[in-house]
Amino acid sequence: FLPNDVKPPVKEAQQYWSLRIWFTQGHEQTFRVQDFELHAYFYSTMNSTVNETTYVSSDHAELEIGAEEKNAFKCSDSALGFVDATVNLKNLKVIAFANLNSTDFPKEQQFEQCSLDVRTSDIVPIIVGACLAGLVIAVLIAYLIGRARAKRQGYASV
């Protein structure tokens, strides 16, 4: 693959970047990412001091990529953390250990979404807020009624 907005010179057109991802089978998940590396080739137009390099995964990289049972994984925006580099992946779709006859996912394939894509409903916080507001108003009304009754009974304040 080539990075976004990069067109290699004609002499270097056969030198591509490669991203390798190794998957493993987990106990609670059918698959998860075990390791990854990026081999980058820097073209003469990039003004780099080295021609090519291999980035390895960072020990501190937090990966959410994985799915249970026969599901695939998708995320609108995900990142792979390398030592001294980061690769942002847009509209990522991954399935491991599957024998597919094409580069397209089956139409009936179920996907698990990353936590950034899972939207929580706005209805629950609105209902909770309305209930709390109603409770505050009910307590205020009860206080005002109690105060008005106390004045009518003729108690004197000290």
CA distance 39 to 15: 11
- How does residue 158 score in pLDDT terms, banded at 50, 70 and 90? low
Q: Across-strand partners of 90? A: 77
Q: What is the pTM of this model?
A: 0.62
Which has more confidence, 135 or 17?
135
User: Taking the CA of residue 44 as centre, how many other CA atoms within 13 Å lie in the half-sphere pointing to its CB?
Assistant: 5
Tens of pLDDT, residues 56-74: 988 887 778 888 878 888 9
pLDDT, residue 29, reads 62
Going along 25-84, which residue ranges are E strands?
Answer: 31-41, 52-56, 66-67, 72-82
pLDDT, residue 154, reads 65
Residue 71 near residue 110, CB atoms below 8 Å: yes
Two structure tokens written together for 131: 């209930």
Tens of pLDDT, residues 21-34: 888 887 766 788 88
Tokens 């937090």, residue? 62
- Residue 151 pLDDT exceeds 90: no
Q: Compute the average pLDDT of residues 116-125.
A: 79
